[in-house]
Amino acid sequence: MNLAVAKEPSDARVALVPVVAEKVKALGVDLLVENDAGKAAGFSDDDYTNCATLLDRDALFKQADIIIRITPFTEVELNRMKDNCIVISQFEPYNKPEITDALKKAGVRGISLDMIPRTTLAQAMDVLSSMASIAGYKAVLEAARHLPRYFPMMITAAGSIRPTTVLVLGAGVAGLQAIATARRLGAMVEAFDTRQAAKEEVKSLGAKFIEVEGAADDTNAGGYAVEQSKEFLERQRAEVQLRASKADVIITTAQVRGRKAPLLVPKETVEKMKQGSVIVDLAASTGGNCELTENNKVINHNGVTIIGNSNLAGLMPEHASLLYSNNVLNFLKVIIQDGQLNLDLENEIVRGAFFTADTTE
Ligand code: NAD
């Protein structure tokens, strides 16, 4: 069985780095790697030659039984693949439902790693977490790069400088990594998330969780959120906006799968921020958490820099590729036994990720 690694068309990462490629080969498959697939991430073709055959794209698509990539394939590419070929990538079918039909029309089976259920068992295959963690880290570094101010407190002979205040909105995987990184750089960090469970995690990283008095008691709700009064939600919103308008840096990470990202930083709040402040919006690709965000652009609004980038992991291609590769390897261990494919739909991990299963099986 031929398992191929395709080159990313416009991303510096590669889906399988050489050190992990060797482990994939040990599963009993023949490895094909597209010429220059790892080049932008720092891996030469020579790094792959001991475990893989290097090919051009045409030959690779003709021979592959399974093709791995980080970014989705175009219809033209899908139509060049073998019948019944399996493509493994991040297709986001919940955001782009038309992709299922495109694969079906091309006679290709699709596995979307971003559909793997987020269970303890599947944690080692969770590409969303791996990439979100890098994005959270990189978001802080990008903010620091654009900010015309220090992050840490500085006491120098030329004067003392107060530490920067960073506000993180959405304290999931990316948000928590952003909090930890900003803390390491010496910033004062505040954070907010609608999930109460995030509060303890935020505090354990040394950041302040934004809250207002008067929340309805959820201690007997079995871990579920309870409905809060309109008045409470309004006070909560006002407090977050107040903190946002005073922050030097805002990092927003809130996404709701399959829906437009929630609006957390309206234009009027941006206009109250200090000159030179920076907003990094990781939800840019799904509409943005900031009203003014433009996807894949860095803009300046009245002296505030707004970075709209949902692919910051792509700016750290070596480690992003390594973590993605390990996620892929762990998934392949589930679907390949003794070099043969075993797409067991009884397995919830396979069932979750194999999004074309109903239509092509
Ligand atoms: P995400 O990228 O979907 O969202 C980021 C954060 O934004 C979440 O914490 C969410 O609660 C928050 N958010 C959404 N709407 C908001 C709003 N209006 N205001 C403020 N915050 C808002 O989430 P994620 O980082 O992928 O993970 C979120 C949750 O999933 C976390 O509880 C995480 O621990 C859990 N998780 C579990 C596993 C696992 O068990 N294998 C893996 C990854 C994540």
Compare 133 and 226 and report the one with higher pLDDT. Answer: 133
Q: Are 291 and 270 in contact (CB under 8 A)?
A: yes
Helix (H, G, I), strand (E, B) or coil at 140: helix
Residue nearest to atom 12 of ligand 1 (CA): 170
pLDDT one-digit tens code per residue, 339-361: 999 999 999 999 999 999 964 44
Give the phi and the psi of residue 195 in degrees, each rounded to 5. Answer: -80, 125
Q: How far is CA 6 from CA 1, 68, 90, 236, in A?
A: 16, 6, 13, 47
- d(Cα 266, Cα 217) in Å, to the nearest integer? 29
216 has pLDDT over 90: no
Task: Give the mean model confidence (pLDDT) for residues 274-289.
Answer: 97
**Which tens digits make up the pLDDT trace of 151-175?**
999 999 999 999 999 999 999 999 9
Distance 5 CA to ligand 1 centre (A): 30
**Cα–ligand 1 centroid distance for 200 (angstroms):** 14
Q: How many CB atoms lie within 10 A of CB 231?
A: 9
Render pLDDT for 6-48 as a digit per residue (tens, 0 to 9). 999 999 999 999 999 999 999 999 999 999 999 999 999 999 9
Q: Whose CA is nearest to atom 3 of ligand 1?
A: 255
Q: What is the pLDDT of residue 256?
A: 87
* E strand or H helix at 186: none
Using most ligand atoms within 8 A of CB, pick from 95, 134, 168, 255 the residue to mutate for ligand 1: 255
Ligand 1 atom at minimum distance from 192 CA: 20
Interval between CA 256 and ligand 1 midpoint (Å) = 8
For residue 197, the ligand 1 atom closest to its alpha carbon is 32
Task: Please give the pLDDT value at position 257.
Answer: 87
Query: Which of 123, 193, 286, 290 gets mutated to test ligand 1 (max ligand atoms within 8 A of its CB)?
Result: 193
Give catalytic residues, as residue numbers: 118, 123, 126, 129, 224
Tell how far the Cα of 18 is from the centroid of ligand 1, in angstroms: 32
pTM value is 0.94
Average pLDDT over residues 317-323: 98
Mutate to test the pocket of ligand 1, among 121, 194, 212, 263 (most ligand atoms within 8 A of CB): 194
Summarize pLDDT for 101-114 with one digit per residue, the tens.
999 999 999 999 99
Cα(274) to ligand 1 centroid in Å equals 29
In the prediction, which pLDDT does 230 show?
86
Residue 261, sorted as left (phi over 0), alpha (psi -120 to 50) or beta, turns out to be: beta
- CB-based contact 333:346 (threshold 8 Å): no
Q: Residue 225 pLDDT more than 70?
A: no
The mean pLDDT of the chain is 94
Q: Which domains does the chain have, with CATH numbers?
A: 2-115+316-359 (3.40.50.720), 132-314 (3.40.50.720)
pLDDT for res 233: 84
Name the phi and psi angles at 166, rounded to 5: -110, 130
**Start-to-end CA span in the chain (Å):** 19
Kindly report, residue by residue over 43-85, the tens digit of the pLDDT.
999 999 999 999 999 999 999 999 999 999 999 999 999 999 9
Quick one: what percent of the chain has pLDDT higher than 70?
96
* Nearest one of 16, 58, 59, 67 to 37, comparing CA atoms: 16
Region of 97 please: left (phi>0), alpha (psi -120 to 50) or beta.
alpha
How much is the pLDDT for 223?
A: 57
pLDDT band of residue 222 (cuts 50, 70, 90) is: low
Atom of ligand 1 minimally distant from the CA of 171: 9
Q: Report the separation in Å between the CA atom of 229 and the middle of ligand 1, taken as the mean of its atom positions.
A: 23
Q: Which two tokens stand for residue 40?
A: 């932008």
Give the number of the atom of ligand 1 that is nearest the alpha carbon of residue 262.
18
Cβ < 6 Å from ligand 1: which residues?
118-120, 123, 126, 128-129, 132, 169-175, 192-195, 198, 253-256, 262, 264
Residue nearest to atom 18 of ligand 1 (CA): 262
